[in-house]
Structure formats: structure tokens, C-alpha cells
Amino acid sequence: MKFFIDTANIDEIKEANSLGILAGVTTNPSLVAKENVSFHDRLKEITEVVTEGSVSAEVISEDSEGMLKEAEELAAIAPNITIKLPMTLEGLKACKVLSDKGVKTNVTLVFSANQALLAARAGATYVSPFLGRLDDIGQNGMHLISEIAQIFDLHGIESEIIAASIRHPMHVTEAALNGAHIATIPYKVIGQLVQHPLTDKGIEKFLADWEQANK
Ligand code: E4P
């Protein structure tokens, strides 16, 4: 499983990129709104940091024509822009047109296996099931990842599954175990993945022993 970061904050993206683990970035209108910057300028900045990995930019139109117009402008920002489309009838239409043109797509707001299958058949490069938001309403987000992974495997589907709406480190481990190809993770959770109290304790002990021996 690969790691994407789920943010539009440039400092978080730079920091995660410097760790050498970053395979891409996902943004969404809520994440961009927090930043108080021009969407296009921020995408340009992001693609200057993450030059090869996929950078998802979400459209806000609700009709396929509008989505395609936005997609054209967004895709012109950099070659690694992936067009993020909502899981709607209009989003599927736009997905098909873009995938036929060879433009990468990420179908977002996926909450069922059928939606994921539809998105894949419309040519989506990525499908994004939202784990945390399902957990929030008492449904099993991880079960959805597992179902989609089984269906894609059974039918030889090449669309990649992005485990999205990740809230904590267990989501990351379980997404990997259940067959997600990618997890898109908030910066705070990336930090949590690094932490282990025994690592800290181990470093403390090594340093103390070293100092003792070199007195
Ligand atoms: C994915 O691409 C979305 O940006 C994201 O994971 C949404 O997560 P949230 O439920 O924390 O808003």
C-alpha cells in the first residue's frame, strides 16, 4: 500500500515529501477552503513539490459539461494532476470522457461496493471509499474496503483503491491488510504512524548507555 497525504497545506506536503514516503496528494474543496489561497495557485505549488505522484484536484460543478470544462483547466496546471470527480451519474459521464482521453481520474465520495464498481467501469484510475465517514454513522468502513478489493480482484479490475477519510493509525494498518492500494492520510496521522513509546524508550536507553560508557 502506498501513502498519499490528504491536505492542501503546502508546509504539510513539503514535510511529508521530505520523509521519502509520499506517492501523491489528495485535496478537496473543504481542505482548500481552510487555506485561504487561490485553488489553482495552490495546486501549482503542490505540483512543484510533488512532481511525479498523483495530485488530486476536485471539480465543483454538478453537471458533466461543467466538470469537463473544469477538468481541462485543472489538467493544464501540471501533467500529474488527477481529476477528482463526485460519485454521481454526471461524475460517471465525465469520468468516462476523461478516461477515454487518457486523463487520470479519482472518483470520490464512494460509500458502497456498487458505486466503486460503477466508477471502475467508467474508467476511474482511482476510487476513494471514505472509511471514517462510514464509521461515523455506525457502518463498517473497513468492510467496504475489503469488499471492493475482493470485487476488483475477482474481476481483474485495474482501478486502484484509495482508502480515504482516514482518522487514526489503525485505519492505515487495516486498510493495508484489507487490500487498499493507497491510503490518503492527514498530516497528523502520518506523525502518529511514526510514533512508538518503545522506540522512544529504546533511544533514551541507547543514549544513556553510550554516555555511561564514554564518561
Ligand atoms: C479524500 O480524498 C478526501 O479528501 C478525504 O479523505 C475526506 O476525509 P474526511 O472525512 O476526513 O473529510
CA 109 to ligand 1 centroid distance, Å: 8
CA 213 to ligand 1 centroid distance, Å: 50
Residue nearest to atom 5 of ligand 1 (CA): 165
Q: Give the model's pLDDT for residue 104.
A: 98
Indicate whether residue 6 lines ligand 1 (CB < 6 A).
yes
Give the burial class of 138: count Cβ atoms within 10 A of its Cβ; 0-12 exposed, 13-18 middle, 19 or more buried. exposed
Q: Give the model's pLDDT for residue 100.
A: 98
- Other beta carbons less than 10 A from residue 168's beta carbon: 15
Q: Give the model's pLDDT for residue 215.
A: 87
* CATH H-level, domain 2-213: superfamily: Aldolase class I (3.20.20.70)
Residue nearest to atom 11 of ligand 1 (CA): 165
Q: Give the model's pLDDT for residue 14.
A: 98
Express each pLDDT in 77-132 by its tens digit: 999 999 999 999 999 999 999 999 999 999 999 999 999 999 999 999 999 999 99
pTM for this prediction? 0.96
CA 72 to ligand 1 centroid distance, Å: 23
Q: Could you write out the DSSP letters of every residue in 30-81?
A: HHHHTTTS-HHHHHHHHHHHSSSSEEEEE---SSHHHHHHHHHHHHTT-TTE
Selection from 134, 133, 89, 131 nearest residue 107 by Cα: 89
Indicate whether residue 130 lines ligand 1 (CB < 6 A).
yes
Indicate whether residue 54 lines ligand 1 (CB < 6 A).
no
Indicate whether residue 106 lines ligand 1 (CB < 6 A).
no
**Atom number, ligand 1, closest to the C-alpha of residue 84:** 2
Catalytic entry in 2, 69, 84, 96:
84
Those residues of the chain that have pLDDT short of 70 are none
Q: Give the model's pLDDT for residue 95.
A: 98
ipTM of the shown complex:
0.97
Active site annotation includes 188: no
**Atom number, ligand 1, closest to the C-alpha of residue 132:** 10
